[in-house]
Amino acid sequence: MLYIEFIKSTGARETGDTFQQYQAIEKIYNDCESMTKDDAYRLWKQTYGKQAKIDRNRILKDIRDMSEYRNHNGIATAREMEVSRHLFQIGLSLTEMNEFRAGYDVHFTNPDGVTFGMSRYHTVNNHDFYEMWIRYEGQTYETAMRYKFGDLKICGA
């Protein structure tokens, strides 16, 4: 059983955890003479697939919350404060990268496969304006996080 066909047949995302799971399933598959590849794929789905689906849904919810978050006047909920804090942590990490300080667009990918980036979107009087974006599973999400004149802030609605 090849890793590439395992990924394709199970629909699993490629992560370090997935490769370790593949190795465990492959060992069982090789040790059991009567087991077919379909049985091995089914075994992965029953043991790891459900958790992978839960994790993916959690990641998508976090991304959606970050991309839809806007500053507003009024009392913020606990979730809104958490999202705001998370956006600022990521934004600060991006703006502290050497490439960003040199005037280049920057990005990094976390262990969940989510890529966060900061790209220039406007220049006025030699001042660059940047916006933060999120990319996951080939889809890009915009955020309200902006960097201009040395300040990192979340824009309002």
Give residue-wise pLDDT tens across range 104-134. Answer: 999 999 988 899 999 988 877 777 889 999 9
52 and 91 assigned to the same domain:
no
Q: Which two tokens stand for residue 33?
A: 């003479």
Angle, to 10 degrees, between the axis of helix 3-10 and the axis of helix 16-31?
A: 100
CB neighbour burial string for 62-81, b if at least 16 within 10 angstroms, e if fewer: bbeebbebeeeeeeeeeebe
Provide the pLDDT for residue 75.
82
Beta bridge partners of 120: 130
81 and 51 assigned to the same domain:
no
> Domain range spanning residue 80?
71-154
